[in-house]
Amino acid sequence: MSHLRWLMREWRGGELALLLVSLLLAVTIVSGVAGFAERLQRGIVGESHQFLAADLVLKTPRALPAEAFAELPDGVETARVIEFRSMVVAGEAMELASIKAVSERYPLKGELTISDEPFGLPLASREIPPAGTAWLDSRLFPLLGIEIGDALQLGDVSLRAEQALITEPDRGTSFYGMGPRVLINEQDVARSGVVQAGSLVDYRYLFAGASEPLAQVQTALQPQLTVSDRWQSLDDSQPQIARTLERAERFLLLAGSFGVALAGVAVALAARRYSQRHLDTVAVMKALGAGSSQITRLYVGNILLLALVSALLGWALGLGVQTALFAMIRDLVGFTPPAGTLRPLLAGAITALLCVASFALPPVLRLRSVPPLRVLRRDLGNESLSSGVSAGAGIAGLFLLMLWYTGSVELVLAVLVGVAVILGLAGILVLRLFTSLRRWAQGAGGVMKLALSAMVRRRQANAFQVVSLALALMVLLCIIAARSSLMKEWQLQLPTDTPNHFLVNIAPDQVAPVDAWLDQHDIRSAGLYPMVRGRLVTIDGQDVYEIPEIEANRGSVNREINLSWSEQLPEDNKLTSGHWWTDSNDAMAQVSVEEEFAERLGISVGTRLGFRIGGLPLEAEVSSLRSLSWDSMRPNFFLLFEPGVLEAYPSSSITSFYLDANDKVLLNDLLSRFPTITLIEMDAVIRQARTVVDQVSAALELVLVLIIACALLVGIANLQASLDSRLHENAILRTLGASRQLIRTCLLAEFALIGLLAGLLAGVGAEICLYLIQTRLLDMEPSWHPMFWLAAPIGAASLVAVSGWWFCREVIVAPPLQVLRRL
Amino acid sequence: MIHAKNVSKRVQVADSELCILKGTSLEIKRGESVAIIGPSGSGKSTLLGLLAGLDEPTDGDIWLAGEHLNALDEDGRAALRARLVGFVFQSFQLLPGLTAQENVMLPLELRGDRSAAEVAKDYLNRVGLGHRLDHYPRQLSGGEQQRVALARAFAPQPDILFADEPTGNLDADTGASVNDLLFSLNAQSSTTLVLVTHEPILAKRCARRITLAAGEIMEDTGEALPA
Ligand SMILES: Nc1ncnc2c1ncn2[C@@H]1O[C@H](COP(=O)(O)OP(=O)(O)O)[C@@H](O)[C@H]1O
Ligand SMILES: [Mg+2]
């Protein structure tokens, strides 16, 4: 008999629908979420290359001879960037600017954004400034008192200010001390004459291409390099957004693997019911002469066909999920999603096969051993559906699925062992409880006694039901809670009025007028912090350049650091060791150091640090280490002194404030009033970060919906599994004279009890799992959820009671004989 | 056609052994119609199951159409059943997911018969259900379901038909008409018929009656007849 025809006939039975939906969901989740994650990953990698404006960068303080790049391997593109500081002059006005001269084809990755007017709307540009022109940071226009089209002087060359420069991909994040940017053409550097031998110049040679030829470039150039030359690749510049997306991706994968596990359970339940319902069919077919191999072929073929169908359908649905997910995060990712590969199809097919092999086949394969004598004696063959093997196969399948999906043995082992222990204990407990109902039953009278003892008789099925419902609920609670705590953390990092503009270099006599100006325009600042610039020169009396361990962290000592002082520990700082200022008679000044900075330089509480500030030495002892929240966008300092130490040194102040995009024109006024103040705009970065949060949460929501669907499926499969025996028993009870009222009460009570227990277990289990997920997987503070303990049992009890009653309403409403005849 | 020699069946119940059939021997010839009668629980269904090769005896030998059943495994017996045997059950045992026609087609398809659909239609016509080919069992009355079961049993033209209380679940009138149908189909095809029943009227329509009580043959009208 043809499998297809058989499948079509079987389909009408109805049991296959649930099996197919469960399989389909598993495949959809895998191919949708995993496919999305894969494409996102590739996209992020591509995106992150923009932050270098290339795939690989050679950074050097000297110009390399052109011959060095004469022979590049095929497929490698290259461009040059020269960066230096120089004065730019327009009429009377002069400004120290950070000049960036670029060659044709810059940037190799990402794009320049410019605007027709200062602080105007951004436009992408594919070109670089033509020779003889310059693109200027918006804030330079008011500072120099010029407009678009006016001329400015850079050394010997006169350039026309043609565009306002909004941003370049490789602008970098080290914004302190960097002057306003002027982007020019490489050809104008020589003509300007400002770059002389000995000038402080950064040369960057950009390369883009596949990793093979890039590696060749690296080897070829290596002999010509000195210690001062450095290669930069992606790993050095992992941007913030990529980190957020990565976390979101990890969450998606976790949620996805839970979803797949749930779908697997649903498959197992559906397959169990399917084979239960086919015991009679198989017995009849065997009596009619079907051999067990024929039965096997028919049913296994059937299931495999189902797997194939769900693999294909699920793949298509998965593509839909991917598209939806990308649509949700469209403004966030600067890239068009890379084309999908066939991997999700393969992944989906493997999922379908694994699900089928470990969850569906064991119960179905047992059909082959149904004795034909069952046609005469219906009680035969029931026991053949033992759950031991199915459970073993199921767990093995789950393990493989989750392992393959998350790629982490530890994670999967931890989750599975944890879940197994919780559920195992729970199962025993629940079984005990149901058994103890027996005593109750003894005491009860009449039909109530029958109902209670039916419950006791079904105790194994009921315990199983409680445990599997608890599992579904637990997963759901975990995912909901993990999602909302991720979201809360993200939102906390970026409240809507997060400061998005910094003012640095505010002279002491400007502090009051700037404060007044901000007040006048209703702009709330984070306060003005005094700041002294100095270098760290000795650690415990030793010259920092002579400490070998510091070699790798030259950047931390090679530059001027911002030093500040404060009476109180700043709001979002946390002491991690030592004490805040102590009243000591010690003459030595006290300083508090940011912990990561301290770690890089091997500094701990008690270390003595030597500084040089404006030519004067200062010695201080570390009294505490602090952690900072860099995301708060307030001025933060690696080094904070106790009050009274730095006041004597020349200082400037720094502040940050929030400014709406519509109010940005105000900055023209501010900067022309206080031309020496440096403005740093962070609004684009923050806006981007906020879009990340908004859109990633939308994506997480979609996945949540899939998980809810899985949990519902498990619930439905679960209720259906026990439906036949329940209908049967209750119909008999009714023929024996039980009133509808009693049956309804019994049913509701039994289901409510099942839901209550499941909810309780799920609440406890979710709390434990969440603790592990938050601390181990998402690197977050664990949170507690007292609501779970209350809401989960009550919610589950009412939900299960209502849906259980709905599924069984027939036995309450219909005449019992009808029910009995149908079964 | 069917030959049983010293067949007994014992099953383990709790910790005691229950003997359902005690050393039963009998011989049924081609074309014979035999009724197995006896009170409920006397072992009739057990004997039928053994003769049809649905189960294995604890002791004794059984031959079906010359094949020694003891020598065959379950698959071998299934193949034999597919070739030779038809069944009618007390509880009809139609597959609920299949239409009447598909139910009748089932044994034909299991044999690989290509004209299954036509043959099934033909037999459903013969049992008077030609107009209900596409109905599902749940849409049919008990009597109609049993008539479909009859069509299913006779359609492959089996050499032997086993029937276990075919009218046990039907009211008297419906049962009578199903019986009529059973015997007329049987007459048309001259099938060997082994019929379990506790209804004397039905038993009387068979040429030979074997009476069981407590797992033993009490009376066999066939034994008395000259072969
Ligand atoms: N596998 C078995 N396990 C236990 N008892 C059985 C089994 N098979 C049959 N019996 C018992 O053997 C007796 C005869 O059964 P059966 O052949 O069905 O009788 P009949 O069909 O004459 O009513 C009954 O009491 C029945 O309960
Ligand atoms: Mg019987």
Per-residue pLDDT reduced to its tens digit, B67-118: 898 898 888 888 888 888 888 888 888 887 788 998 998 888 877 788 888 9
Confidence of residue A821 (pLDDT cuts 50, 70, 90): low
Query: Closest approach of chain A CAs to the CA of B180, in angstroms?
Result: 23
Confidence of residue B149 (pLDDT cuts 50, 70, 90): very high
Q: Which residue has the higher pLDDT, A22 or A447?
A: A22
pLDDT, tens digit (0-9, with 9 covering 90-100), for B1-10: 899 999 999 8
Helix, strand, coil percentages (3-state) for chain A, rounded to 5, are: 55, 15, 25
Position A784 scores a pLDDT of 81
- Highest-confidence range of A379-383, A719-723, A819-823, B38-42, by mean pLDDT? B38-42
Confidence of residue A787 (pLDDT cuts 50, 70, 90): confident
Q: Residue A122 — φ and ψ, nearest 5°?
A: -75, 145
Q: Among A35-49, A255-269, B88-102, B203-217, which stretch is predicted with the lowest mean pLDDT? A: A35-49
Centre of ligand 1 to C-alpha B43, Å, is 6
Position A389 scores a pLDDT of 66
- Provide mean pLDDT across the span A278-303: 86
Position A499 scores a pLDDT of 79
pLDDT, tens digit (0-9, with 9 covering 90-100), for A382-412: 664 556 666 777 778 778 777 776 667 777 7
CB A15 within 8 A of CB A273: yes
- Provide mean pLDDT across the span A358-381: 82
Residue A436 reports pLDDT greater than 90: no
Confidence of residue B226 (pLDDT cuts 50, 70, 90): very low
Pocket flag, ligand 1, residue B40 (CB < 6 Å): yes
Q: Helix or strand or coil: residue A522?
A: coil
Position A685 scores a pLDDT of 65
Residue A772 reports pLDDT greater than 80: no
- Highest-confidence range of A212-226, A408-422, A435-449, A689-703, by mean pLDDT? A212-226
CB B169 within 8 A of CB B142: yes
* Mutation choice for ligand 1 from B18, B162, B218, CB with most ligand atoms inside 8 A: B18
Q: Residue A771 is which amino acid?
A: Y
Burial (CB count <10 Å: 0-12, 13-18, 19+), residue A448: middle
> Does B92 contact chain A (CB < 8 Å)?
no
Quick one: which H or E segment has residue A268?
A: helix A240-277
Residues of A in CB contact (< 8 Å) with B are 1, 9-10, 12-13, 280-281, 283-294, 371-373, 375-378, 822
Position B62 scores a pLDDT of 93
- Distance between CA atoms of B14 and B12, rounded to whole angstroms? 6
> Does B106 contact chain A (CB < 8 Å)?
yes
Could you tell me what percent of chain A has a pLDDT over 70? Answer: 83
Confidence of residue A225 (pLDDT cuts 50, 70, 90): confident
Contact B87 A288 (CB under 8 A): yes
How much is the CA Rg of chain B, to the nearest whole Å? Answer: 17
Position B204 scores a pLDDT of 87
- Provide mean pLDDT across the span A35-56: 70
Pocket flag, ligand 1, residue B37 (CB < 6 Å): no
Q: Which ligand is nearest to the CA of B212?
A: 1
- Provide mean pLDDT across the span B161-189: 86
Q: Which residue has the higher pLDDT, B165 or A811?
A: B165
pLDDT, tens digit (0-9, with 9 covering 90-100), for A718-749: 777 777 777 777 777 676 666 777 778 877 88
Residue B206 reports pLDDT greater than 70: yes
Position A757 scores a pLDDT of 86
Contact A288 B93 (CB under 8 A): no
- Provide mean pLDDT across the span A49-67: 78
Residue A419 reports pLDDT greater than 90: no
Q: How far apart are the first and last CA of chain A?
A: 27
Position A630 scores a pLDDT of 62
Position A332 scores a pLDDT of 59
Contact B83 A376 (CB under 8 A): no
Token readout for B76 is 């071998």
DSSP string, A371-398: -GGGGT-TTTTGGG--HHHHHHHHHHHH
The angle at the Cα of A649, spanning A643 to A654, to the nearest 5 degrees, equals: 75
Sorted by sequence, the CB contacts under 8 Å of residue A666 that are 6+ apart come out as A521, A523, A659
Give chain B's count of helices (H) and strands (E): 8, 10
According to DSSP, residue A196 is labeled -
- Provide mean pLDDT across the span A561-568: 84
Confidence of residue B161 (pLDDT cuts 50, 70, 90): very high
Residue B225 reports pLDDT greater than 80: no
- Distance between CA atoms of A169 and A50, rounded to whole angstroms? 6
pLDDT, tens digit (0-9, with 9 covering 90-100), for A59-88: 888 888 877 777 788 888 889 999 888 889
Report the predicted TM-score, pTM, of the whole model to 2 decimal places: 0.67
CA-based nearest residue to A326, from A684, A38, A688: A38
Q: What are the C-alpha distances in Å from A732 to residues A451, A728, A749, A811? A: 11, 6, 19, 10
- Distance between CA atoms of A126 and A124, rounded to whole angstroms? 7
Q: Which residue has the higher pLDDT, A352 or A817?
A: A352
- Provide mean pLDDT across the span A128-157: 90
Pocket flag, ligand 1, residue B45 (CB < 6 Å): yes
Residue of chain B nearest A376, judged by CA positions: B45
Which of the residues A376, A821, A822 would you substitute to probe the B interface, choosing the one with the greatest number of B C-beta atoms within 10 Å? A376
Pocket flag, ligand 1, residue B218 (CB < 6 Å): no
Averaged confidence pLDDT in chain A: 79
Residue B223 reports pLDDT greater than 60: no
Q: Which residue has the higher pLDDT, A447 or A679?
A: A679
DSSP string, A317-373: HHHHHHHHHHHHTTTT-SSPPPPP-SHHHHHHHHHHHHHIIIIIHHHHHGGGG--GG
The interface predicted TM-score (ipTM) is: 0.87
Q: Among A15-24, A323-332, A518-527, A659-668, which stretch is predicted with the lowest mean pLDDT? A: A323-332
Residue A443 reports pLDDT greater than 80: no
Pocket flag, ligand 1, residue B43 (CB < 6 Å): yes
Confidence of residue A174 (pLDDT cuts 50, 70, 90): very low
